Amino acid sequence: MRRPLLATLLLCLSAGAGVAAVSEAGATYDGTICVDAATGAMLSESKADWPGHPASVTKLMTMLLVLEDVKAGKTTLGTPITITRASVGTGGSMVWLAVGEKFSTDSLLYALMLQSANDAAVALAIDRAGTTQAFVARMNQRAAELGMTHTIFVTPNGLTYGKGPHDTTTARDLAKLGVVLVAIPEALRYTSTKTYTFRPGPKGVNLTNHNHLLASFKGCDGLKTGWTVAADASMVTTAHDGDRRVVAVVLGCDSPQGAKAAQRVRDQMAARLMTEGLARVALLDEQKAKLQALSARTTPVAPKPKTTKTVEEPGFFDWLGGLFSF
pLDDT band per the 50, 70, 90 thresholds, residue 132:
very high
pLDDT the model gives residue 77: 98
Rounded to the nearest 10°, the torsion over CA 168, 56, 91, 52 is 30
pLDDT band per the 50, 70, 90 thresholds, residue 304:
low
17-76 pLDDT per residue, tens: 444 577 788 899 999 999 999 999 999 999 999 999 999 999 999 999 999 999 999 999
261-274 pLDDT per residue, tens: 999 999 999 999 99
Query: By three-state DSSP, how is residue 53 classified?
Result: coil
Rounded CA separation 212/108 (Å): 21
- Where does 55-134 show beta strands of DSSP type E? 80-82, 102-104
Is residue 119 within 8 A of residue 89, CB to CB? The reply is: yes
Closest to 106 (Cα-Cα) out of 211, 231, 208, 199: 199
Give me Rg for the CA atoms of the chain: 28
Domains of the chain and CATH, by start: 3-289 (3.40.710.10)
Active site residues: 56, 59, 116
Closest to 213 (Cα-Cα) out of 228, 229, 224: 224
Closest to 31 (Cα-Cα) out of 14, 12, 54: 54
pLDDT the model gives residue 40: 97
121-125, 127-131, 320-324, range with the lowest pLDDT: 320-324
169-220 pLDDT per residue, tens: 999 999 999 999 999 999 999 999 999 999 988 889 999 999 999 999 999 9
